[in-house]
Amino acid sequence: MATTNPPHDFPLDRTVPGPRPEASSPQVVTPPPLACDAHCHVFGPADRFPFSPTRTYTPPDSGITDFELLQERLGLERAVFVQASCHGTDNSAMIDAIQRGAGRYAGVAMIDDSFTDDDLAYLHENRVRGTRFNFVAHLGGAPDMDTFWRLVHRVAPLGWHIVLHLDAKDFGTYSSVLDNMPVPYIIDHMARVPAVDGLDQEPLQLLLDRMSTDERCWVKISCAERLTEGRIAPYDDVIPIAQAVVAAAPDRVLWGTDWPHPNLVDMPDEGALLDLLAEYVPDEALRNQILVDNPAVLYSFEDGQP
């Protein structure tokens, strides 16, 4: 089945740092029951789940055991694991993590034309509910668009959504792609708009307009550490951008940590990232909607169940 990359023959020396050994506990936000980290990853362990030979970076192992320690510290119960490019289309580490959650976790896979209908059914049975495409230059750039559309139309009957990882400067380029999307789609990380360019920057205005007019469009208010000027805390310049995104379509917003923060140098404190959500969304009821109700719509989480 199309879930295993060919073996590699070079050492697994890491090329990017790992997350902080231990996050602080949040001081401001108390997550409600069934709160979800809707964007996170698992990397390895590489001796069980080898990295892709075509990867552009090699992270240290950051597997499900470390992630569950983080969840406990933050007070979160659910999670959506998003397949990252370092594992390519081998979704095995993600599926293993989802299975460990016994219904508390879901996933977003990366697939290609080698996946059979049985492969897709297997992913769906294991709580995968979307597929992700990278358009970001440093991760390899845009996919072949003929392949992209073939895959989009193959997963549509499963009720999956499409996750799009775009650079802000390219957001307007793909307007027609979004216009023709046959399923809901998620824009990762607020379209990676640079906070230093402010609220009037064109990519953000295009994003806000799309959120307001297209009910298929969802956005993750994640990765303040990537959007902020200089990529260092406290990320205050991201607050008005996230507030504008939430105001545009509060019922189609997700939040996530992006743990273990691939390709960063200055690693964020996940407890501080969770507390930052109180600045994005001061209203506790709306904040709880973003943490619990919104992800349940896309990921088949059941009320009152893990």
13: pLDDT strictly greater than 90: no
Quickly state the pLDDT bin for 263 (edges 50, 70, 90): confident
Token digits for 171? 């957001």
* The domain made up of 36-299 is a member of CATH 3.40.50.1820: no
| pTM of the predicted model as reported, rounded to 2 decimal places | 0.93
Statement: residue 1 has pLDDT above 90: no
Q: Point out the residues that are catalytic.
A: 258
Q: Per residue in 126-145, pLDDT tens?
A: 999 999 999 988 777 899 99
- Smallest CA-to-CA distance from 253 within 262, 244, 261 is with 244
**In which band, very low, low, confident or very high, does the pLDDT at 265 lie, cut at 50, 70 and 90?**
confident
The rounded distance, in Å, linking the Cα atoms of 258 and 247 is: 22
Amino acid 304: pLDDT: 58
The per-residue pLDDT for 11 is 39
- Which residues, 6+ apart, have CB-to-CB distance to 258 below 8 Å? 39, 40, 41, 189, 222, 223, 225, 226
| pLDDT at 4 > cutoff 70 | no
Q: What pLDDT digit, counting tens, does each position of 73-125 carry?
A: 999 999 999 998 899 999 999 999 999 999 999 999 999 999 999 999 999 99
pLDDT reported for residue 118: 98
Do 231 and 264 meet the contact criterion of CB atoms below 8 Å apart? Answer: yes
Please give the distance of CA 210 from its chain centroid, rounded to a whole number. 19
Model confidence at 155: pLDDT above 60: yes
What are the tens digits of pLDDT across the range 228-257? 999 999 999 999 999 999 999 999 999 999
With a cut of 90, say whether residue 48 has pLDDT above it.
yes
Residue 9 pLDDT exceeds 90:
no
Percent of the chain predicted with pLDDT > 70? 95
CA distances from 75 to 26, 29, 101, 266, 274 (A): 8, 10, 15, 24, 10
| 256 within 8 A of 74, measured Cβ to Cβ | no
